[in-house]
A and B are shown apart, each in its own frame.
Chain A
Amino acid sequence: MSVSRREFLKLSAASAAASTIGVELLAAKTAEASPALQWTKSVCRFCGVGCGVMIGTTNGKVTAIKGDKLSPINKGLLCVKGFYLHKVVNANNRLLKPLVRKNGKLEEASWEEAMSLVASKFKETIEQNGKDSVCFYGSGQATTEETYVANKLFKGHIGTNNVEGNPRLCMASAVGGYLTTFGADEPVGSFDDIDHADLFLLVGSNTAEAHPVVYDRLVARKRKNPNVKVIAIDPRKTPTNKIIDLHLQVIPGYDLSIMHALANIVVKEGYTDEQFIKDSVSFSDGKEAISYEDYKKFLEQFTPEYAAEKCGVNAEDIVTAARWYGQAKGVVSLWTMGVNQRKRGVWLNNLMHNMHLITGKIGYQGADSLSLTGQPNACGGVREGGGLCHLLPGHRAVANEQHREQIAKIWNVPASNIAPTPGKHTVAMFEAIASGEIKAAYIMCTNPAQSLPNLNKYLQGLQDCFLVVAECFHPTETTKMADVVLPAAFWSEKDGVYGCTERRSQHQAKVNEPKGEARWDGDILIDLATRLGHGKNFEHFQSPEDVWNEYLLCTKGKDMDLTGAPYSRLKEVRGLRWPVPTIDHPGTDHRFTAGDPLFPEDKAAGRRMYFYARPDGRAVVFARPDLGPHEPTDDEYPLALSTGRVLEHWHTLTMTGAVPQLVRAVPECYVEIHPDDAARLGLANDDVAKVETRRGALDLKVRVIDRPRVGTIFIPWHWPEKLANVLTTDAYDPGSKEPEYKVCAAKISKA
């Protein structure tokens, strides 16, 4: 091609301009004939913070990503995982064709062959062994629409409540906490409170690594206001310690005593909000109502010295923490798995709320009891969408006859189709798979063969049952065991809605066609429904938007009303925080108080907060014992083992493992041990050590580092090559059924 001198000079001029703003014009110029880089608003695929992203596409291919500067959550920022998200779309571990196991090996097959096999196996199993011999196991990463379709098929049409999802393993205790304390799931406030708080209480949360953008907001808040303080209760020093002013580095599993001790000091030293307690709080010992006086008496045993002794920290530090809490104008508590993945996770969640209630530090700007979530749609799809064995869509329960009737009507089935008793919760479900009671399982968008606790107990069962896995990636530990693997469309390849930590529902945009023969998960489930003879009630679902519209009917008039959030609006705005009952409602930043569209002014009668989800409008402060972990350390297994995460990786590495830069950042699994313990046991950096628990053993590289507390060890659980969950315990919280991943007894020796 000949370029005239004039053209050349023009291009030079334009290039000079382009370089000023950091654009390479040559690329743009050549793309001029074809469409240039297009940016589409979407939401991040990783954690539950819900960062807004802009997806860049060129010729229908995802080529770039950047933070959405109009997002109120991240204001354009991304963490290191989100930064590489566009690379995951085109990753080489994407599954492109259905796979069917033939002669023991997974082989490529047509959709027709795969789906007819799945349908006939499910039909046969249900006919021979009953409805409850099949199950569905979903994900806090699936879109709300996908979980809704699965729920409708399994609970409403097949008629089994064996519908679970991985949020059981991470969020169930938070659900239990919110439900028992406030009468309704999910936080009172929002992320906005972070920008106004004077004190942060972080319990069992490595915010810097697990929720980097929230951490960035904490840093920003602290920078602007040097008086802002951060208290942490955590057995491990983490990168979050850079902003921590007071760290109670506890022995894992005993922090209920500290929470009670904090309350005790707050009460003793007069930091309570007596008016708020009088107006909006009731007390309970977990079985029956007690009086405020009873509660005070109960607290007396929890002296700072008692808690300090149990948790191995300084009593003075507990007193200081309580005073800071009492003196702060606004406190935001943040917690994650360290509180939820516990034998007493619900109780500990309650204790987080207790502090806010007795000090009245809730329901206004800068004060909230905010449970951080780990998956992008655990709140939206599974908690709100009812994707657990005891729930129905729209914060409803299967055990409630009215709820069953309401949902059956929307699903166009007789109410008797929906079983009145909860199905099997996650651990029970996989136990039933292991025992052969459940014979066919459909797993969508998750990887339980790596993420279940006490893995060795469950793997054989997964091998033996008829296992269908719908997944974007292959191989995963779970697809390796499957009889049929169905290629699913990934994030940017489908429309959907994600609901994040702060009750905000956001539209996830489809910007490119699914890779290979992959299909949208909802579409695969509708196909299965049709093959099982239930097509009539699914055929009107032509798109995710159709599913969303039906789901909105389930939310109408509920505490999580999303009627004002149809696709047309969600595509325009940066998400909406429910309740958002009408199309012109801006969404709600604080529930149960003025400004909440559901706040009953008449019933509240002048009270600042009225918890309308509770019959008496009062939130409950719980006085329950400070039980310790399921498996305390002993002479044989003297170390407490915690598992957790690193910044650069996410869950089971199916996504971050496909990005070389992130792999490079933290290439392999290791075990962290305190220098004192290492010296005592003769372990040095980069030694290989054998970590053993009562359930399994693992050889790991040693990292001697002053991060874990003396007497504890820590393993990041991301790597399939080193399945940390062969070590963890599947003992679970009796209320939430969430396993205690965070504490078990272990020993370590040079391998």
Chain B
Amino acid sequence: MKGKISTLLIIFLLSVALIASLSCSSTQQMTSTKEAPPAPPVPAKHADVDFSKSCLDCHKTETPDAVAEWQSGMHGEVNVGCFICHGDGKEEYYPEPKAETCVSCHSGYVPTYAGLGVKDCFGCHNYHTLRFHAEDRGGFGQAAPDWIKTSTLASNFQHDKTGGE
């Protein structure tokens, strides 16, 4: 029965998709951007370190790739530090950042991803660079993917209208 439900769920979604005005072509394009972000290989608890140092003091050498990615992205550019998404490591620690955290600063973005076929911000954006997954893989340049522009869902996708850049 459980197996059936998941199959049926997909059928159901497709059958009611018309109501949400999803055109067939945009659905196909969507699936290409649906790949989940790579799970970061981090432990559930932060190592017991010298917490009098700042995150970057150690992570510059411990996880240089992550730091470089962060620096290359918008968060690095405007100095939104590790602790915002990951917690301070001691009081609170989120190895995988929670999507709810994003909307505290980006309230304009709230649920505009509903119906885009992704679960949360990270369905489209890489964790550290914040660029689109496909963009980081060289899939497209600075521009937004075409499906965002052409999809009839674009009216519900309001980053630029309300969320700043």
A and B touch in the complex (CB under 8 A): yes
- Interface of A with B (CB < 8 Å)? 19-24, 54, 64-69, 74-80, 82-83, 208-209, 212, 215-216, 219-220, 223-224, 239, 242-243, 647-648, 660-668
Query: Please, which residue of chain B has its CB at the minimum distance from the CB of A660?
Result: B91
Q: Cα distance A243–B78 when bound, in Å?
A: 10
Q: A76-B164, A220-B165, A223-B165 are in contact. List 9 more A-B contacts (CB 8 A).
A: A64-B104, A66-B103, A69-B162, A83-B105, A212-B78, A219-B77, A220-B164, A660-B88, A664-B90
Q: With A242-B77, A661-B87, A666-B54 known to touch, is A75 a contact of B108 (CB < 8 Å)?
A: yes
Q: Cα distance A20–B91 when bound, in Å?
A: 28
Listed by A's residue number, 7 A-B pairs whose Cβ atoms lie within 8 Å are A66-B105, A66-B107, A76-B164, A208-B79, A647-B81, A661-B84, A668-B52
Query: Please, which residue of chain B has its CB at the minimum distance from the CB of A224?
Result: B165
For chain B, residues 55 to 85, give those with C-beta under 8 angstroms from any C-beta of chain A: 55, 74, 77-81, 83-84
* Chain B residues, Cβ within 8 Å of A242: 77
* Chain B 85-98: CB-based contact to A (< 8 A → 1; otherwise 0): 00111111000000
* Chain A residues, Cβ within 8 Å of B119: 19-20
* Chain B residues, Cβ within 8 Å of A69: 107-108, 162-163
Nearest-Cβ distance from residue B109 to partner chain A, whole angstroms: 8
Q: With A83-B84, A665-B55, A665-B81 known to touch, is A65 a contact of B162 (CB < 8 Å)?
A: no
Q: Cα distance A224–B81 when bound, in Å?
A: 24
Instruction: Evaluate contact between B51 and A667: CB separation under 8 angstroms.
Output: yes
Q: Cα distance A65–B78 when bound, in Å?
A: 20
Q: Cα distance A80–B162 when bound, in Å?
A: 20
Instruction: Evaluate contact between A77 and B114: CB separation under 8 angstroms.
Output: no
Q: Cα distance A644–B90 when bound, in Å?
A: 27
Query: Please, which residue of chain B has its CB at the minimum distance from the CB of A221?
Result: B165
Q: Cα distance A132–B160 when bound, in Å?
A: 56
B144 within 8 A of A: no
Instruction: Evaluate contact between B110 and A21: CB separation under 8 angstroms.
Output: yes
* Chain B residues, Cβ within 8 Å of A76: 105-109, 162-164
Q: Cα distance A243–B120 when bound, in Å?
A: 30
Nearest-Cβ distance from residue A17 to partner chain B, whole angstroms: 9
- By Cβ-Cβ distance, the 10 closest A-B pairs, closest first, are A664-B88, A21-B111, A69-B108, A76-B108, A660-B91, A66-B107, A76-B107, A661-B88, A220-B165, A22-B99
Q: Which of B77, B92, B107, B164 counts the most A-chain CB atoms under 10 A from its CB?
A: B107
Q: Cα distance A664–B55 when bound, in Å?
A: 8
* Chain A residues, Cβ within 8 Å of B110: 21
* Chain B residues, Cβ within 8 Å of A20: 111, 114, 119
Q: With A212-B79, A220-B164, A667-B51 known to touch, is A78 a contact of B104 (CB < 8 Å)?
A: yes
Q: Cα distance A318–B119 when bound, in Å?
A: 52
* Chain A residues, Cβ within 8 Å of B83: 80, 661-662, 664-665
* Chain B residues, Cβ within 8 Å of A83: 84, 104-105
Query: Please, which residue of chain B has its CB at the minimum distance from the CB of A701?
Result: B52
* Chain B residues, Cβ within 8 Å of A64: 104
Q: Cα distance A57–B13 when bound, in Å?
A: 35
B53 within 8 A of A: yes
* Chain B residues, Cβ within 8 Å of A208: 78-79
* Chain A residues, Cβ within 8 Å of B35: none
B136 within 8 A of A: no
Q: Cα distance A23–B98 when bound, in Å?
A: 11
Q: Cα distance A660–B51 when bound, in Å?
A: 11
Q: Cα distance A216–B109 when bound, in Å?
A: 17
Q: Cα distance A668–B54 when bound, in Å?
A: 9
* Chain A residues, Cβ within 8 Å of B103: 22, 66
Q: With A20-B114, A22-B99, A666-B54 known to touch, is A78 a contact of B87 (CB < 8 Å)?
A: no
